[in-house]
Each structure stands twice: as C-alpha cells, then as structure tokens.
Amino acid sequence: MFVFAVIFAKISGFLLRLLGHGSDLPGRLALKIYPRLLSRFQVSGRIIAVTGSNGKTGTAGMIAGALRACGKSVQTNPIGSNMTGGIATVMCRAAKLSGKIDCDYLVLETDERYSRLIFADFKPDIMLVTNLFRDQITRNNNVDFIYSILDNVITPEVTLVANACDPISCRVGSTQKRVYFGCTAPQLLAGETGVFTQDCKVCPVCKHRLGYEKYIYNHIGVFRCEHCGFENPRADFVLESVDFAAKTAVINGNAVSCDSATAYGFMNLTAAAAVCVTAGEQPQAVYAALSSLKTNKTRLREFEINGRKGIMILSKNQNPVSFDLSISEVLRMEGKKTVVAYINNINHTDHRDTTWLWDIAFERLAGRAQMVCAGPRAYDLAVRLKYAGFADCDVKIARKNSEVKAAVEATEGRLCVLTELYDAATIMEAIK
Amino acid sequence: MKLLWLYDDLLDLYGDRGNPAALEYRLAEAGLEPVWDKKSVGDEIDFTQYSLVYIGPGLFSNLAVAAADLLNRREAVLAAINSGTPFLVIGNAPAMFMEGFTDAEGQFHQGLGLFAQKMSEGKKIIIHDIVMTEKGQSAPLCGFFNSTASVEGEVEDYLFDIKTADGKPDLRAEGQHINNFYGSSLLGPLLVRNPSLLHRFVDLAAGKSVEFDDGLEVTARDLIMNELGGKK
C-alpha cells in the first residue's frame, strides 16, 4: 500500500499541478491510503524543519535558497503547504518508489500546530523555531498550547535553532543540542515599541514581571528577570548591525546583503545563517549565498492604479504581530498615505471573531494616515479605529466591494493595502 | 476616577484590552478623567479606592499564579463585591471566583468559592459565535467563546441565557452575576461588541447615567447579529 500511495500522490500531484493546484491534496489522499506514510521514507541527507508563529515561509525560503547556492541538492515544500498533507505531497514527489529520497537537504516549513502530527513517525535533524506569538485564535488557542506541542516534538535527538531574543520559544524542547541566533544591532533595538501585544510580560520560569531593556518588536528583545535571573541565552549567531537603506547586515562580523530590509527580515536572515552553518555548511559560503538571494516578494508588492502608487503588505491572518509589523512598514514610508485594510471573517471557520483587531496598535497610524475599512467586518474595524483616536474624516467605510473604489478615490497619498493572503486578490480587484 | 486592572501582566489574551480601552475612552469623554491602576502579584491594593475592577483572560499557567495571589486577598475582594464595587471578569478569569480550577496537568487550584462551580482545562479547543441575552431579558447580545476550558456546575446567579451557539443545544446558561460582579467565559472586547453592556459599566463606574453616541458600535453589532441569526 505504501508504493500505491506514493504512485497515487505522484500522479495526482502531477495532474493537479497542471491546473495550478496540488501542493496539499495528493499528500492528504496518500495518507488516507497509507496512514503511516511519513514513517516509510528514508532521506539520504539532513532534514531541516522550520516552524514558529511568524517568519516560517520567508526563512525556509532563505535556507533552501542558500543551501542551493552552496551547491547542495534541496527538496522543499511550496509556500503555504506546511501541514501534514503538504509535507506528504513533497515527500512523495521527491521519493523513489522504494521510499528513498536522494537529496542533501530536505527543508520543510511546518505548521506549528501540525508539527506533532507531521513528526509523529520521523524527526528532523535540525528544527528552527523562529518565534512564538498569539496567533490565529481559532486554530492555535494560545501560546502555551503551541509551546507544549513543540516541546514534545523537540526531543533530545533534534538540534534546536532558536531565537535568543524570544523569552518564550528560547526555552522550548528537551534537547541539549541548542544553537541560538540573536540581535545586538542598535538600529533594531528600541526602548519602546508602541504596540500592545506582548505575550511575555511575566517571566516564563518564575512568573514575576519580566524586565525588558530593549525591544526589537513586541516581546522580541533584550530581557532579564530580576527575581530568578532568567535572561537571553548567549547567541551563537549575532545580528550586529543593519542598514535599512543599503539593505545590508553584519552577522558575526560578516557583511551580508538582505533583500528584505525589515526588522523581521533581518532576524530571518540571521536565523537562516544559523541553520545553514549548523547543518555543516562553511560560514563564508553561507553568508555569500544568503547575499545572493532575491526574496520572494509575494508579501510585499508594489503597484500603480490610475496613476496612484501603492504597495500591498500581506499579513498573516488573525495575527496581530504580523499586522503590527505591516503598520511599522507603513510608518517608515514618507509622505501622505492611505491604508486600505480588508477585514474578513475567520477564513477557515467563518466565525465573526474580531478580538484580534484589538491586539493591533492602530493608534500608531492615527493622525498619520487615512484609512479605508473594507470587507465583511469593515464596521468592526471602524469602531476599533474610533477608539484608537482616528478623526471621523480620516476613516472611510466600504463594506461592500462595490463601494471600495469610490472610498479609495476620496483619499490622498500613497496606497498601502493591508490584508491577508486569501483576500489579496479580492481587495485589489475592488480598488481598480 | 481610579480603575483597577488586576493582573494585567499575567492575564492578557486576545483583544480583551478592548474592554478597558472602551471604558477609558467613554469615561474620559464624559470628563471623568479615568486612570487605570495596573496591579499584580504581591502589590498593595486598597479595593475601596476603585470605581471598577477589571480582570481579563490568560494562560492557565499564569492563572494559577494569579489565583494563589487572589486567595490571599479573599476578605478584601469579597468585601468589595459585597459593597457593590463593579467587577468585570472575563475569559477563564472567573475560575478564580469559583471553587477552583484544574489545569491540563490535573492540578487543582483553589478559588475564592463565591460560585459553586469548577473549571477544567482540556485539550480540545471549543469555539462558538454566541447570541445571548442577559438573564431574563430579551435584548440580544453577541459574544465569542474560544477555549479549551469547560465549567462544571450551574449557578442561580448566572449572567447570560444562551440563544444560539453555532447550533450546539447543550449550552443554556453562561457567566456569573452577583451584586455588580459580572463574570463571563466570553473572550475579547465584549463591551465594545455590546454597547448596552458598555453603557452599563460606564454608568456603574461613574455612579450616574452617562450619555454617549454609540451609533457606529450599534451598526457593527447589528451586522453581526443579522449574520448570526439573532435579529436585533
């Protein structure tokens, strides 16, 4: 049945790819045919898993790209297909009928909640946890819930690469094999962030209030508990400085170019370097390889409509930290601007939840941008903006798609479209 | 006007800050100059100074720490509730006012015992959009439930009659209400989504009736109500 499941996934995957689909379904069906499918593959190279709340896709892409640029053969899952079906699909596609996967590296972006299922029958050699935040309430419940899942997955045989600036995820797992990436770049460290979502106000060890000397964003920063001494672990890979304009960074004394010159982009770059070097690649080759990469720009796309310039900044759905980072990008732009935000119901459950809007610091935009509230929950966003201090004249409401174009035309400045991936096409069509 | 946000560091999840934010906005608009005092474990607290007490939801691991601290303040807290100080306690925080709660590891944490109920943390996430009314009333309200916790025991002093919960017929009553103590398992900006509740708590904190324009909130609420089948 294993061979049949692999053949079925290969053929169905090929046919679905012709239609522009097929990154998840073939694997899901193969798992129905042979539930222990994932236990039967033998990977000749090393398996690298990339998980966490934010930054998985970008960092996994950097790792795979850098390893390829180092001359290694790499198999990886396409963007977004990071649940059990997606992992099964890529492994079936890469495998011979015997189950053997010949490659130097298998790089798997894995959904944090599904990690327990994905790694029930096999373990990665290296697992990168980018960070942990409150995220998609209807899927992930809370940070403790996800932490406990990853804690069970990261067993002693796994080498953990973790974020030394994240007081939550830096502690995860029972493995002693730990490599940390961190940041001392003064350009990224600030005394205040201006945001509300802070998932680690208390020390995760003793529960006393955790002190922060500096923040990078949200609860990512330089921390120390005065009660029990819990503090940032020593980082092996240190982001020492960044230059946003030049799109460069210095990691462990090495200059590296970074196509994604944002706070999280630079942190992802450092994480990718840590993973590639930990996997055994030569540091100089890794830094050169990372410098040569062009970032996948699907989450940051410039456009022009009717002579008006704009940029689309995609956020992870119902993820306030992701949205906060998008707002930070808007605030870095000069001149007048209008933010068009499309707010939908919860896409995978259709619940009317709007709690996450209250975790986003829209206050930072009040008086600095006009807003167009679009989508089924446009009025909920408008209410949120009212309490954030927006003047009525700076907020347009266009709940129906047919109302969006006129609302946008009544505003000024560069357009900044903030939405999630699934609604990107809808809002762009409505603006035209 | 002093308002108390208790355990803001330990208990802070998923948009619950919308409740204190809305109260502050409306009380400030009325010229009452509200100031939130944020207090936590071990801090000195004189409950008689406060016009309202707010406690939000949190991780169960943090709730256990908060519950132990609250137990040390049992007499002062119960005196405040008995004297009519308004309390808004949401998410899993009402467990601290029940007999107690059992965490996912099976450890029981004692509560104040104000309500003959117990909460248990489970493994399965339960999610509902909810349409409800206040006990014995007819005006519909909306809420959102998203938790791994369940409550054992029914109390006469419950807060909401559940009308619909994604078609789940087993949910009938929810929350706790005694004097001006209001507890609910519902999450997020409950007051913003239900302007009538916001009016209630603004009035309770102010000690008088406060008028404000809630037209935008009502429109947002009505749209959700219509979609959930709970006509306004």
For residue B170, is pLDDT > 70?
Answer: no
**CA–CA gap between residue A408 and residue A416 (Å, rounded):** 11
Cβ-count burial A20-30 (b if 16+ within 10 Å, e if not): eebbbbbbebb
What's the N-to-C CA distance of chain B in angstroms? 34
**CA–CA gap between residue A241 and residue A249 (Å, rounded):** 6
Specify the pLDDT at position B228. 85
> Nearest CA to CA, how far is A119 from chain B (Å)?
19
**CA–CA gap between residue A119 and residue A91 (Å, rounded):** 13
Would strands B140-152 and B118-134 be described as parallel, antiparallel, or unpaired?
A: antiparallel
Closest chain A residue to B61, measured at CA: A144
**CA–CA gap between residue A395 and residue A381 (Å, rounded):** 10
Best A132, A138, A201 residue to mutate vs chain B (most B CBs within 10 Å): A201
Specify the pLDDT at position B167. 58
Contact yes or no for A337/A416 (Cβ under 8 A) = yes
Nearest by CB to residue A358, choosing from B9, B18, B60, is: B18
Check CB contact of A400 with chain B, cutoff 8 Å.
no
| Contact between B127 and A351 using a beta-carbon 8 Å cutoff | yes
ipTM of the complex: 0.94
Would strands A308-315 and A300-305 be described as parallel, antiparallel, or unpaired?
A: antiparallel
| A186 CB neighbour count, 10 Å cutoff | 11
- B24-78 pLDDT, tens digit per residue, is 999 999 999 999 999 999 999 999 999 999 999 998 999 999 999 999 999 999 9
| A409 CB neighbour count, 10 Å cutoff | 12
Pull the structure tokens for residue A107: 């790089």
**Helix B18-29 / helix A378-387 crossing angle, nearest 10 deg:** 60
Please list every residue in chain B whose beta carbon sits closer than 8 Å to the beta carbon of residue A355.
14-16, 18, 144, 146, 187-189
Specify the pLDDT at position A95. 92
- B119-150 pLDDT, tens digit per residue, is 999 878 888 888 899 998 888 899 888 888 88
| Average pLDDT score, chain B | 92
Specify the pLDDT at position A354. 86
A-B Cβ pairs (cutoff 8 Å, strict): 102
| Contact between A380 and B224 using a beta-carbon 8 Å cutoff | yes
- The pTM of the full predicted model, rounded to 2 decimals, is 0.89
Residue A338, classed as helix, strand or coil, is: strand
Question: B231 pLDDT band (50/70/90 cuts)?
Answer: very low
Check CB contact of A228 with chain B, cutoff 8 Å.
no
Alpha-carbon separation of residue A9 from A28, A101, A102, A120 (angstroms): 9, 15, 18, 20
**CA–CA gap between residue B63 and residue B57 (Å, rounded):** 8
Residue ranges in chain A modelled with pLDDT below 50: none
**Helix A320-332 / helix A263-278 crossing angle, nearest 10 deg:** 120
Specify the pLDDT at position B232. 45
